[in-house]
């Protein structure tokens, strides 16, 4: 990556939101959890301070997830463990928790509409595919791209002008660090095989 290029921040919206929803203990004056909203906005502020992007793109998973991946593997994403909430407030039952999570995500997207941010969401398409299309888009050819996600699948997109920032690990991955760590070029990287997950 060269420092003289403009920068675009490409954020895995679901990944950032869920991490804050699970980890941030913030509650409203009524006692309802709002950590997803509050934490996501605070995380975005921190990213903007550190990366100083010229443009920001938020990619969200579309309704129904990836129909393409389910056509290949009908059990895609089945059997995932439920989220373990890291907060003291336990005043909601399971249905209320689901409603609160959905409400917080909707409100987060509404707040982001008031910022100079592009939000992308397509039914039956995952954020992964949107992010892949964004970083390879012709309009961003002259930009350095910073993907923000904890998902190692994005390692495949790293190149001379695209890096992956994994906030939980505070890890920045680029072509050289991936070659050094895994002895595999990003083009050939398959997370399930390399990491055994």
More confident residue, 40 or 197: 40
pLDDT of residue 63: 84
Confidence grade of residue 29 (pLDDT, cut at 50, 70, 90)? very high
* Token duo for residue 124: 């039956």
Range with lowest mean pLDDT among 53-67, 138-152, 162-176: 53-67
For residue 88, what is the enclosing H or E element? none
Please write the tens of the pLDDT for every residue from 88-147. 656 788 898 889 999 999 999 999 999 999 999 999 899 999 999 999 999 999 999 999
pLDDT of residue 31: 86
pLDDT of residue 92: 80
Using the predicted structure, report yes or no on whether residue 70 has a pLDDT greater than 50.
no
CA dist 86 → 2, 33, 36 (Å): 39, 11, 12
CA dist 129 → 42, 60, 66, 94, 157 (Å): 26, 10, 9, 31, 11
pLDDT of residue 148: 98
Whole-number percent of the chain with pLDDT over 90: 66
């Amino acid at each position: 990556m060269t420092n003289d290029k403009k920068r675009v921040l490409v954020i895995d919206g679901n990944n950032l939101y869920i991490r804050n929803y699970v980890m941030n203990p913030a509650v409203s004056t009524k006692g309802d959890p709002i950590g997803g909203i509050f934490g996501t906005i605070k995380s975005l502020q921190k990213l903007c301070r550190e990366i100083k992007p010229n443009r920001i793109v938020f990619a969200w998973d579309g309704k129904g997830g990836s129909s393409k991946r389910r056509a290949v593997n009908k059990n895609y994403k089945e059997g995932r463990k439920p989220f373990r909430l890291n907060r003291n407030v336990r005043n909601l039952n399971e249905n209320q928790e689901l409603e609160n999570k959905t409400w917080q995500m909707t409100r987060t997207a509404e707040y982001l509409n008031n910022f100079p941010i592009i939000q992308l969401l397509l039914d039956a398409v995952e954020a992964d595919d949107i992010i892949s299309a964004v970083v390879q888009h012709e309009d961003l050819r002259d930009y350095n791209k910073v993907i923000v996600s904890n998902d190692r699948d994005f390692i495949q997109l790293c190149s001379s002008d695209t890096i992956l920032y994994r906030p939980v690990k505070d890890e920045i991955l680029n072509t050289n660090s991936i070659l050094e760590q895994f002895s595999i070029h990003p083009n050939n990287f398959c997370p399930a095989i390399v990491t055994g997950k």
